[in-house]
Chain A
Amino acid sequence: MKRSKWIWLVWAVVLLSYLVPYTLLSDVSRWYGSFLFWAVAGVAIIALNVFITTDFKEHSDD
């Protein structure tokens, strides 16, 4: 799979960030509920971006 296609995984994380806290976690009033979920989503977004942009190389046109 082309590296750039992994961006769809980012959009999937975004979708889950809407769905999970409003459904599965709406009754978990502890730190390991929505707070942890969104924190993990944030870390996942960083990791995915690091991976997707690995091919951004030096571009010298001069």
Chain B
Amino acid sequence: MTESLIWWSIAIYLLVAIGIAILSRQRPAKGGSESMSGYFLGNRQMNGFVSALSYSATTYSAFMMVGLAGLTYAGGVGAFGFEIIYFAGVSLVAVFGPKFWAVGKKFGYVTPSEMLSHRYHSKQVAMAVSIASCIFLIPYSAVQLAGVGYLLQGITDGAITFTTGVVLATVIAIFFSYIAGIRSVMWTDSLQAIMMIVASTLVAFLVIQNLGGFGALFDTLATEHPQSLTVPGPGLFSFVTFLGLTIPWFFFSLSNPQVSQRLFMPSSLRSMRHMLIGFLVFGFIYTLVSVLWGFSALAAFPSLERADLATPTLLASEFVPPVLGVIVMIGIMAAAVSTIDSIMLTLASMVSRDVYANLKPSVSEKRQLLVGKCVVPVIALMALAFAELQLDLIAVLSVAASSGLVAMVPALIGAFYWKRGTAAGALTSVVGTSAFVLLMYATGNSLLGLPAGVWGIVVASVLFVGVSLVTKPHQDSTDAFFAAIAEELGTQQRRTANDPATKQAAH
């Protein structure tokens, strides 16, 4: 692929994406983006289709097409199992989604941490969750950026340098966030999601055709790499490793604020349903395709030096025409950008709503929004700096992100299902587990033979339940919270029962 082809493609992509971002702005007459919930939640009026594509693009970072393909190359079919268990975990949205949505609407929450703070009647809980999220997610974004830098440099043979790639992705992410807050992020995400799925499916199709079809591919694997089709297989996916990887990812839809915040945004429960089902269909195809990339690379290029070369090698091979290679390259960049801009926006809303507004009470909504907007580029620049510096610490924090964010899960589940949960329990669980996970990663990630991924949820649950049992819950806020869920969702059930269509169906 030539340098001019690459730059022209990037220019066309940017032009289309910026056009979509500008079109996504609401007219001021409709309320626009000038409030916290307008800017960060799209006024809780997002439709199901855009929500589904954006949820997919945010969840699936550049990790899939590079990382999952590489993981399949190195560890075989266990990589597929890992992703399927994560994917099944998103079913938590079917359970928690309506409850999040109901209290969000009733109390006007902008962030999941604000919800916890109100439920447990403690500002410290909101601040702890927000700060822990920043500690884990900014390095995670930095590693995503660095990944884009390396990939662009690798695929283009140095025509785009590492630094150019990283700076380009950061600038695009800031730009998409700034045009209309979450609205422009979600609409550009939708474009990126479509690009990601179309390009990656096309590549998988072409490559498998060239290898003689699906049957031939799996025959080659069965005869030449039989272990790649079983677990533990070549050794990467021992049962303990598999548990350590899958448990934190199973809770991703609750533990990661950039996706749990999405549960406040749909315009109705019907839209939430479309978001969930749309995501599941997208995720299933995307997972299958990424795994097939890894298998194809293993069948065609069995002796690569490193597993993460699987994708670049496949794209540079004669199986993939240069134009498609460029589209995939942009798709991978888009995958990273769509994850980073959502994380930036969510963290900015948390810093402004849960840290700044709690430190300076009675600060106006307008002021909070201004602070949030100022925090967006600060977070982006921190991620950029970390990506450039390539510190070991950052890599460790990034890897620890999924295990560390599990710290919020017991407090979140308890918020909806356990009236006895207390602020002290939630706070100890969040702070204690985050510190515990970091300590585990700093000291070799093994305690009694088990990794932090397994221990995290155990430690968080024990701390939350144990400390809650010896402290007192705040009765008024607990009652108000549960009453709101019953009221919002109860009204709905009554409506459904009164709906003539439902009555008819019941007979």
Contact = CB atoms under 8 A, between A and B. Distances in A.
Interface in A8-62: 10, 13-14, 17-18, 21-22, 25-31, 33-35, 38-39, 41-43, 45-46, 48-50, 52-53, 55-61
A56 B77 contact: no
B277 A38 contact: no
Interface in B474-507: 491-492, 495-496, 499
A45 B284 CA distance: 10
Nearest to B501: A57
Contacts of A7: 91, 94-95
Given A30-B218, A34-B231, A46 B85 contact: no
B94 A29 contact: no
A61 B499 CA distance: 15
B80 interface: yes
B230 A46 contact: no
A53 B94 contact: yes
Contacts, number: 129
Given A42-B287, A46-B280, A57-B270, A25 B230 contact: yes
Nearest to A30: B222
A41 B94 CA distance: 17
A35 B91 contact: no
A42 B270 CA distance: 22
A59 B78 CA distance: 41
Nearest to A60: B268
Greatest chain A CB density within 10 A among B242, B280, B284, B491 is at: B280
A34 B492 contact: no
A33 B270 CA distance: 37
30 contacts: A7-B94, A7-B95, A10-B91, A10-B94, A17-B85, A21-B81, A22-B231, A26-B231, A29-B226, A30-B218, A31-B218, A33-B77, A33-B229, A38-B81, A39-B84, A41-B88, A42-B284, A42-B288, A45-B84, A45-B280, A46-B284, A48-B91, A49-B94, A53-B94, A53-B273, A56-B269, A57-B269, A58-B269, A59-B495, A60-B268
Interface of B: 77-78, 80-81, 84-85, 87-89, 91, 94-95, 98, 105, 214, 218, 221-222, 226-232, 239, 242-243, 246, 250, 268-270, 272-273, 276-277, 280-281, 284, 287-288, 491-492, 495-496, 499
